[in-house]
Amino acid sequence: MSFVGLFLSGAVLFLNGLMILGKADGKAVGYFNLFVGVIQIINPFYLIITSEQGNWDMYNNAAIFLFGLTYLYVGVNNVKGLEGNGLGWFSLWVSIISVVYTIVSLVQFHDVVNALTWGLWAFLWFLFFLTGSLKWKIDGYVGIAAIVLSWVTLTIPAMFYFLGIWTTPALQQIWTWVLSLTIVFFVVSLFSPKLSFRKEKSGSEVQAI
């Protein structure tokens, strides 16, 4: 995936996290989603056209569309005030595709950092499905997850790439630990007494955890 795309995705995911937590205006953030979403649609088309168009070229560039379409969907929903059920089901589809990217990163490329990154993205998109389609009341958890992942999977890796040090073995080993600890943090947070996982059902809230 283009590291310029990662950089921009970090910005929009950070803002989306703040929006979910009620710290940023939804409509204003929606316009930013539209702006980045358009870029993340044009970018992969250009990369595909200028590539050798082999199967792995298509595979890598297609991943950018997952982000671009998500941002466009979020942007339209926020600007138009639409109900989020469709976005939730789309997020489930993207989450499943992300699991495939996770497995391929390990089996085909033996890339642990990329596999952990895709696994965390799959988890985040699944959270969007839970909130958008199943109406689970976990906005606080999702907002924090989005903000954390905006930095550890997008913004900081992109900055390291721009500095020319992202592929160094030492940094890759460090980042394996960073992503692993991020997973531990999310798992521990699931059992926090301050975090309520609830789902709307017939006007009442049902405890899921």
Backbone region of residue 202 per phi and psi (left: phi > 0; alpha: psi in -120 to 50; beta: other values): left
Q: Is the pLDDT of residue 203 over 70?
A: no
Report yes or no: 81 and 95 within 8 Å, Cβ to Cβ. no
Per-residue pLDDT reduced to its tens digit, 90-119: 999 999 999 999 999 999 999 999 999 999
d(CA 67, CA 124): 12
Q: Tell me what the pLDDT averaged over the chain comes to.
A: 91
**Exposed, middle or buried, 196 (CB in 10 Å: 0-12/13-18/19+)?**
middle
Mean pLDDT of 18-26: 96
CB atoms within 10 A of CB 94: 23
Ordered by where they begin, the domains of the chain are: 3-207 (1.25.40.600)
Whether the predicted pLDDT of 204 surpasses 90 = no
How far apart are the C-alpha atoms of 142 and 16, rounded to whole Å?
10
Instruction: Calculate mean pLDDT across residues 152-160.
Output: 97
How is residue 45 written in tokens?
């088309």
